[in-house]
Structure 1
Amino acid sequence: MVAVPESRRPGALQRLYRWAAIVAALVVFAGFAQTYYLKAWFGTPTLPTLVHVHGLVMSTWFVVFATQVWLVESHRIRLHRRLGLFGAALVVLIPILGIATAIEGARRHAGPPGIPPLIFLSVPIFDILVFAGIAGSGLLLRRRSDFHRRLMLLATLGILTAAIARLPLDFIRHGGPLVFFGLADLLILACIAIDTIRQRRLHPAFGWGAAVIIVSQPLRLWLAGTPAWMAFAGWLVG
């Protein structure tokens, strides 16, 4: 693949990443405020230790992503690369903890009401696998900054579904997967549209990365109702 030249106005593109990091952090905080960050004020049920660890690691990812964006904007590339080693460790740790937490949640019937736990299990597991694939690709392509930064942005936005589903808005809570995924996709497509307009072409990383995220959504919903998935999910949950 041929590297796509970056815009001659890097400040405009950097603002895109800055605002994307801010929006992602706000969505995560708003979505999990009642059940995690501010649960002491809302009196929500006690969470298992595994969920706390998972929440801490995921929160750290969004903090690290925002910090990395700031370091690049500040031209502190050496520190950005050093922190990237910690980010790489998170890319390994997040799928392990995420899948374990999803399985434990299915055992506790912690998913949305009205959806059988084994069926819903496909949603978080696919979220985690897609995140791992895109973020891992971003790490492999870290020497190609145009690919690296876009893939890391996609990985971060693509894993917002769980936070969006928990936003305290009725149309979201009752909208089901179509709304959860749709809002996450809107954020992704908005970033891609801005980048494409600035660059005057669709960057390949955004093209195939967004395709993987969006195509995986109906695929997991279809797969969740198959006997093969039910057997596999039953085996996972034990």
Structure 2
Amino acid sequence: MATLVAPIVRKKRADDIFFTMMSVVQLTIVVVGFAPSYFLRGAVFAPLPSLVVHLHGAVFSSWIFLFVIQSSLVSAGNIRLHRKLGVLGAVIAGLMVILGILAPFGTIRRAAHLPSFFTPESFLVGNVFGIIVFGAYVAFAIWKRNNRIVHKRMMLMANAMLMSPALARMAFPVTSNGFAATIPFMAHHPFLIGVIPLAMIVALFIFDLLTQRRVLAVTLIGGILFWATDPVSDWIIARPFSHQLVLWAQHHP
């Protein structure tokens, strides 16, 4: 006698939906922020100032797209492929830290134009310190890769560390009196550069409260360290060492 077996449909967990949606939000911020200077100018074919900047753009883009793919794979239940691609992700993350340090030094050396809310010290130290913190978050996430709860949260917070450069470059086309122009949105609202990434951490706090009935230790500790990044970075920027580092970057190839 034949029996009909209903296919097993994997029920999505709340965190599958939340983390996938957050990865898409982060991807959107990066694409919009770097669209004028990178994506709409041909990406790897864009006229960028140096090989390091080209590599930085390609590796950064690969990471953010891979992050969305990885989140989607977990949501779809394809853990095997997620783990295989995780090896590639670890390599890309390592390259990001190296290039994320070299790129701002190159920007200072070229005396490139910086947004009005940056000083050379804040640009150099802020970017270098941020990418180092990103690397630390990713390293911890990789170490805890078998702990789904910790791994997902650390990766989300690591990616939130990458949002500031994209946010700082956000500009939107407008037309005024028949002339096309581009408005650097964040130049008028620079506080949002720090508020939006922090809002992602707050969203994670709220998600924990709704799904776990408490804020998990990894979210609490990771969130506090995330919040402390700006004050620590500001303290370093105010030290004479930061100015000396800028002078060194300006005069050394």
Q: List per-residue Cα deviations over 1:169-191 (Å, max 9, x = no partner).
A: 65522333x32111211122123
In structure 1, how many angstroms separate the alpha carbons of the residues matched to 2:204 and 2:49? 34
| Correspondence 1:198 to 2:200 | no
Q: Which has the larger radius of gyration?
A: 2
1:82-93 → structure 2 map (5 Å cutoff): 82-93=84-95
SS at match of 1:121: helix
Q: Could you say which residue in structure 2 is the equivalent of 1:173?
A: 187
TM-score of the superposition, structure 1-length normalised?
0.87
Count residues with an aligned counterpart: 227
1:1-238 → structure 2 map (5 Å cutoff): 11-39=13-41, 46-110=48-112, 111-113=114-116, 115-168=118-171, 171-176=185-190, 178-237=191-250, 238=252
In structure 2, how many angstroms separate the alpha carbons of the residues matched to 1:62 and 1:49? 20
The 8 Å contact of residues 22 and 66 in structure 1, kept in 2 or not, is answered as yes
Structure 1: 5+ residue stretches without partners: 1-8
Relative distance call for 1:207 and 1:236 in structure 2 (3 A) is farther
The 8 Å contact of residues 18 and 70 in structure 1, kept in 2 or not, is answered as yes
Q: Name the structure, 1 or 2, with higher relative contact order (CA <8 Å, separation 6+).
A: 1
Q: List per-residue Cα deviations over 1:92-144 (Å, max 9, x = no partner).
A: 11110110001101112333236432342111111101100111100111121
Q: List per-residue Cα deviations over 1:70-91 (Å, max 9, x = no partner).
A: 1111111111111110111112
Q: Could you say which residue in structure 1 is the equivalent of 2:179?
A: none
Structure 2: 5+ residue stretches without partners: 1-10, 173-183
The 8 Å contact of residues 165 and 173 in structure 1, kept in 2 or not, is answered as yes
TM-score of the superposition, structure 2-length normalised?
0.83
CA RMSD of aligned residues (A): 2.1
Q: Could you say which residue in structure 2 is the equivalent of 1:4?
A: none
Q: What letter is aligned with 2:220?
A: G
Considering fraction of residues, name the structure with more helix.
1
The 8 Å contact of residues 129 and 233 in structure 2, kept in 1 or not, is answered as yes
